[in-house]
Chains A and B, each alone.
Chain A
Amino acid sequence: MSDQTLKTTVLHEAHVAAGARMTPFGGYDMPVQYPMGILKEHLWAREHAGLFDVSHMGPAFLDITAPGGDGEERHRAVAALIEPLVCGDIAGLKPGQVRYTLLLNEEGGILDDLMIGRPYDPEFQGRLYIVVNAGGKEADFELIAQAAGRKARLTRADDGGLIALQGPEAVDVLRRVLPGVETMGFMSYRRRPFERVSVRVARSGYTGEDGFEILVPERGATSLWNKLLADRRVQPIGLGARDSLRLEAGLPLYGHDLDPTVSPIEANLAFAVSKKRLKAGAIRGAERIARELADGPTRIRVGLKVLEGAPAREGAPILGARGKQVGVVTSGGFAPGLGAPIAMGFVPPDQSKPGKKLSVEVRGRKQAAHVTALPFVPHRYHRNPER
Chain B
Amino acid sequence: MRFSKDHEWVNLDGDTATIGITAYAADQLGDVVFVDLPTAGKSVKAGEGLAVVESVKAASDVYSPVAGEVTEVNAALSDEPQTVNDAPEAGGWFVKLKVADPKALDALMDRPAYEAYLKTL
Contacts and interface: CB of A to CB of B under 8 A. Distances in A.
Asked if A pairs with B, the answer is yes
Interface in B27-72: 30-31, 33-34, 36, 52, 54-59
A38 B36 CA distance: 20
Given A37-B30, A240-B30, A42 B56 contact: yes
Give the interface residue-count category, chain B: 10 to 19
Interface in A19-73: 32-33, 37-40, 42
B30 A243 contact: no
Interface stretch (A85-93, A139-147, A333-341): A333-341
Nearest to A42: B56
What DSSP secondary structure best describes chain B's contact surface? Answer: strand
B71 to A, nearest CB: 22
B56 A240 contact: yes
Contacts of B33: 39, 311, 334, 341
Contacts of A333: 56-57
A313 interface: yes
Contacts of B58: 313
Interface string A241-270: 101100000000000000000000000000
A311 B30 contact: no
A366 to B, nearest CB: 14
A310 B34 CA distance: 6
B31 A38 contact: yes
Contact of A32 (B31, B34, B54, B57): B57
A336 B81 CA distance: 13
A243 B57 contact: yes
Contacts of B36: 309-310, 363
Contacts of A310: 34, 36, 52, 54, 59
Nearest to A32: B57
A79 to B, nearest CB: 39
Nearest to A33: B30
B19 to A, nearest CB: 19
B12 to A, nearest CB: 29
A20 to B, nearest CB: 13
A363 B37 CA distance: 12
Nearest to A241: B56
B30 A363 contact: no
Given A39-B30, A309-B36, A334-B33, 5 more contacts: A38-B31, A38-B56, A240-B56, A334-B55, A334-B56
Interface of A: 32-33, 37-40, 42, 240-241, 243-244, 309-311, 313, 333-334, 336, 341, 363
